[in-house]
Amino acid sequence: MWVAIGSICMMFAGLTSAYIVKKSQDNVLDVLLPHIFWWSTAIILLSSVTMQIAVKSIKAKEMQRYRIFLGITAILGVAFALMQWYGFKILGNNGVLLIGKNSNPGASFLLVIIGLHALHVLGGVIGLIIMYLRVYFSKIRNYSAVPVEVMATYWHFVDVLWIYLLIFLVYMR
């Protein structure tokens, strides 16, 4: 997991560095992020809280509570990604072209950076769904907290990564 996290960090470091370089060119317009991106931040922070409750629940062998909070975390992850998509829809409705011939390169970078992050969140949601289904369909009852702790590490990482990206994108405009 740590190797994957390191690789993801390097990818986003490269993307944010490229954005800084591109931003110095004259044809890059400032793009103001819609407020929905701030609301999505609250959602992903809340999902880290629910993920941590799920970890504590499995350690206490409170399986019903574990399932509930794992499910809530997955739902919040999907809500986060949908809010990100809606934020780009707002940008498009405000005339900010994200891709294509007349697009704003700054907006295209936003799409790539935020879109890749959302894909990482959705990858985490898939992992959460698999863990959730294993509770119901596994023939062997496994109360090990290790897989849940590994998933929580990834989940908290994408949370912290989003905070970094949001701060970066707000102060780099």
Q: So where are the chain's domains?
A: 2-6+32-171
Query: Which pTM does this prediction carry?
Result: 0.89
Count of all residues that appear for the chain in the document? 173
User: Can you spell out the DSSP letters for 118-163?
Assistant: HHHHHHHHHHHHHHHHHHHH-SS----SHHHHHHHHHHHHHHHHHH
User: Can you spell out the DSSP letters for 72-86?
Assistant: HHHHHHHHHHHHHHH
* CATH number of this structure's domain 2-6+32-171: 1.20.120.80
Q: Which residue has the higher pLDDT, 52 or 134?
A: 52
Q: Would you tell me how many other CB atoms lie within 10 Å of the CB of residue 120?
A: 20
Of 116, 128, 126, nearest to 161 (Cα)?
116
Contact 29, 104 (CB under 8 A): yes
Contact 79, 57 (CB under 8 A): no
Mean pLDDT (the chain) is 89
pLDDT at 12 over 80: yes
Point out the least confidently predicted range of 45-49, 57-61, 153-157. 57-61
- pLDDT category at 160 given cuts 50, 70, 90 is very high
